[in-house]
Chain A
């Protein structure tokens, strides 16, 4: 009984594989990659929302690797850059713009 079940299982798996191989083309693998890319993007966006910028960037890069034409992936990278770099730039600008306290030429002697 166990042997027959195993043989039937193997035949079914093999049949599914062969039918898939014969009824699809390389374009379907590309389609699978695009789907993969959008899953990575969903993960990247979730991480971005949670402010886990490192992980978000990692997922966005994986999305680009799976489908370099995925515009959303680049948008996520831009959003990460804005979120991480912009505050640093703003802080440095603030430092530049902040008026320096005037140094007195002479100590205030009270006269």
Chain B
């Protein structure tokens, strides 16, 4: 074994190779996005009303696959966990931001990533959503001066699930098991609610 992931941060790829691969991976990612039904709000919005759980199934499958591969990679010494970028957690700003994001997602049926694939496949509602996102970003930078104290508050740094539960930051067993249970729990909840919605004739 003479390679360590992630290749860019552990020195196997330089900037140019990394950017080239980003384009290839981006194309593949976009194709999977469209194939999985993420490029239409008709698939995304019903998730919140438990009428269609396909998107949730795809998301849970992706979370389980990725977290399992990362976990096994770290365990067998193929992945340098310290080189995986984990952004700092700003507790309350993230909570408020997530709340706004959730409201926007339920109202529109899009999130920024899916909206880009929606625009690429010719969806006008996705384009309007993206224009709204840009206006929101402009507005945010306009008012940033007034809210910067809050936006930079409660910085917990590199805060993992294991750390939040009182274990070592890189204790992946704990993080993995919690992620696994939460993901399947979410999927089970969605499936049960979908069944209820179906029995009521909503779905």
Residues on A close to B: CB < 8 A? Answer: 6, 10, 13-14, 16-18, 20-21, 24-26, 28-29, 31-36, 39-40, 42-43, 55, 58-59, 62, 65-66
| A65 (CB) vs chain B CBs: closest residue | B82
- Write out the residue numbers on chain B whose beta carbons fall within 8 Å of the beta carbon of A36: 4, 77, 80
- Confirm or deny: B108 has a beta carbon within 8 angstroms of a beta carbon on chain A: no
| B167 (CB) vs chain A CBs: closest residue | A26
- Write out the residue numbers on chain A whose beta carbons fall within 8 Å of the beta carbon of B89: none
Apart from A14-B64, A21-B177, A31-B77: 20 A-B pairs, beta carbons within 8 A? A13-B68, A16-B68, A16-B72, A17-B67, A17-B176, A17-B180, A20-B71, A20-B72, A20-B75, A21-B71, A21-B173, A26-B173, A29-B74, A29-B172, A32-B76, A33-B77, A40-B4, A43-B2, A62-B80, A65-B82
- Confirm or deny: B1 has a beta carbon within 8 angstroms of a beta carbon on chain A: yes
Is B180 a contact partner of A35 (Cβ separation < 8 A)? no
Distance (whole angstroms) from the CB of B17 to the closest CB of chain A: 15
- Write out the residue numbers on chain B whose beta carbons fall within 8 Å of the beta carbon of A59: 11
Given contacts A29-B170, A66-B82, contact A35 B176 (CB under 8 A): no
3 closest A-B pairs (Cβ-Cβ)?
A: A35-B77, A17-B68, A32-B77
Is B2 a contact partner of A17 (Cβ separation < 8 A)? no
Residues on B close to A: CB < 8 A? Answer: 1-4, 10-11, 61, 64-65, 67-69, 71-72, 74-77, 80, 82, 167-168, 170-173, 176-177, 180
Given contacts A32-B77, A36-B4, contact A14 B171 (CB under 8 A): no
- Write out the residue numbers on chain A whose beta carbons fall within 8 Å of the beta carbon of B64: 10, 13-14, 17
Distance (whole angstroms) from the CB of A34 to the closest CB of chain B: 8
| B82 (CB) vs chain A CBs: closest residue | A65
Distance A96 CA – B77 CA, assembled complex (angstroms): 50
Is A29 a contact partner of B173 (Cβ separation < 8 A)? yes
| A46 (CB) vs chain B CBs: closest residue | B2
Partner of A35, one of B67, B71, B76, B173: B76
| A6 (CB) vs chain B CBs: closest residue | B61
- Write out the residue numbers on chain B whose beta carbons fall within 8 Å of the beta carbon of A21: 71, 173, 176-177, 180
Partner of A14, one of B1, B2, B82, B180: B180
- Write out the residue numbers on chain B whose beta carbons fall within 8 Å of the beta carbon of A10: 61, 64-65
Distance A39 CA – B1 CA, assembled complex (angstroms): 7
Distance (whole angstroms) from the CB of A96 to the closest CB of chain B: 39
26 contacts between A and B (CB under 8 A): A6-B61, A10-B61, A10-B65, A14-B68, A17-B67, A17-B68, A17-B180, A18-B177, A18-B180, A20-B72, A21-B71, A21-B176, A21-B177, A25-B173, A26-B173, A29-B170, A29-B171, A31-B77, A32-B76, A33-B77, A36-B4, A36-B77, A36-B80, A39-B2, A42-B2, A66-B80
